[in-house]
Amino acid sequence: MSGRRVGFCLSDKKRRRMNLDAFAEFCEGHGVEVVEIDLSQPLGAQGPFDVIIHKLSDVIVEAEHNSQSQQLLANFQSYVSAHPSTILLDPLPAMTQLLDRFASYRIMSELHNSLRDWRICSPPYLEIHSATELPSIQQGVTAQNLSFPLICKTRVAHGSLSHEMSLIFSADSLADIRPPCVLQSFVNHGAVLHKVFVVGDRHYCVERPSLKNFPSGPCDRKTIFFNSHQVSKPESSSDLTALDEEMPCLPPPSSEAVAALVRELRAQLGMALFGVDVIINIHTHTLTVIDINIFPGYEGVPQFFSSLLSHIESVLDKHSSAGPQAAGSASSAPSPAAASRLL
Ligand SMILES: Nc1ncnc2c1ncn2[C@@H]1O[C@H](COP(=O)(O)OP(=O)(O)OP(=O)(O)O)[C@@H](O)[C@H]1O
Ligand SMILES: O=P(O)(O)O[C@H]1[C@H](O)[C@@H](O)[C@H](OP(=O)(O)O)[C@@H](OP(=O)(O)O)[C@H]1O
Ligand SMILES: [Mg+2]
């Protein structure tokens, strides 16, 4: 495979985090050229691209209220629409839905049906659209069978503001939430998070610290505000992740169940680069899905570069044998207006 060009459209932060320069060097050794796309310059002059890998989550979120980001997104979309043979990893509509926890939680909540044989579930949740709903939230909490403590997360799932969350211990503290957000039952899981990182047909599980167990049921404790990156990064260590009690180790998630989960999500989302966060309920040992992430950090994944390159090679090989309109091509992008309406 020689003479192939892969464009990367990433924020500066993401480019540094994934060490794109090192990946470009790695690809060069395999006859693949990596090009950093500058979204602010005409894309036509930067192409052609066989594949574009992007993480446009910040641009899509900003395009909601910023005309410059709207323009960048529109330029990107008109380029991909005009170049249907360029493969887009991942398709914009697929990844845009994961920017919205209302959409991603709906997907997670349907998993227990599609994966019935594997005892996979996600905690019950409630969508709060606006502050006008505040007076009736307690009714919603009861109707949806949510149980205290509750974890409250922003509706927007990606970007720096999206990791600010809170733990709510009683009905009185529901006044602390800031809509739009989701309320989700907190599931005790022994402070262990299992991150499943997906790269095409391969996936890898890594263990991370996580929130400790809390007594079930309402209590008069004050709301705890925290940033999820203080609790679920490899180096995270805080009072919130240190268990208060001794606890026997939980069994890790079954690898067959994780493989079934990844297969189902790959098919449902039509995506290749994503992460799924799962915890194990300490009482039922049920594999519980709590988050799906777009193009995550893959920290701790051995040989991420070679997995990513083999995925790129495999989609290109499939594409050339299937013809230019093969699945995953850039033509599946929504109109600029549709994409910016998605949040
Ligand atoms: N329903 C839940 N029950 C128990 N703990 C939870 C639940 N939801 C989230 N957590 C805890 O809160 C942390 C952050 O939650 P979540 O993964 O939804 O946030 P995030 O900001 O999207 O994180 P990431 O940066 O991994 O994408 C988890 O790692 C886990 O420790
Ligand atoms: O690799 P894990 O531990 O799963 O963490 C990821 C988060 O899940 C993502 O939400 C981050 O993306 P955003 O910074 O766009 O929220 C993502 O940031 P990144 O895209 O800069 O890598 C990571 O922090
Ligand atoms: Mg997340």
- Please tell me the number of the ligand nearest to residue 229's CA: 1
Residue 50 CB–ligand 1 contact under 6 Å: no
pLDDT value of residue 253: 96
What topology does CATH give the domain 97-294?
D-amino Acid Aminotransferase; Chain A, domain 1 (3.30.470)
Substitution site in 154, 279, 284, 288 for ligand 1 pocket (most atoms within 8 Å of beta carbon): 279
Per residue in 75-90, pLDDT (tens digit) is 999 999 999 999 999 9
CA–centroid distance, residue 228 to ligand 1 (Å): 6
CATH class of 4-90+302-341: alpha beta
Task: Indicate whether 219 pLDDT > 80.
Answer: yes
Residue 297 CB–ligand 2 contact under 6 Å: yes
Q: Do domains 4-90+302-341 and 97-294 have the same CATH topology?
A: no
The overall pTM is greater than 0.90: yes
Average pLDDT of the segment spanning 92-108: 96
Q: Where are the domains of the chain?
A: 4-90+302-341, 97-294
Question: Whats the size of the chain, residue-wise?
Answer: 343
Closest CA to 336 of 141, 134, 96: 96
Residue 90 CB–ligand 1 contact under 6 Å: no
Task: Tell me what the pLDDT averaged over the chain comes to.
Answer: 92
Nearest CA to ligand 2 atom 1: 297
Query: What's at 240, amino acid-wise?
Result: L
Q: Which helix (H) or strand (E) holds 275?
A: strand 273-280
Residue 137 CB–ligand 1 contact under 6 Å: no
Ligand 2 atom nearest 296 alpha carbon: 1
Closest CA to 120 of 286, 313, 322, 331: 286
Per residue in 109-135, pLDDT (tens digit) is 999 999 988 999 999 999 999 999 999
Per residue in 162-218, pLDDT (tens digit) is 999 999 999 999 999 999 999 999 999 999 999 999 999 999 999 999 999 999 999
Closest CA to 219 of 134, 149, 283, 140: 149
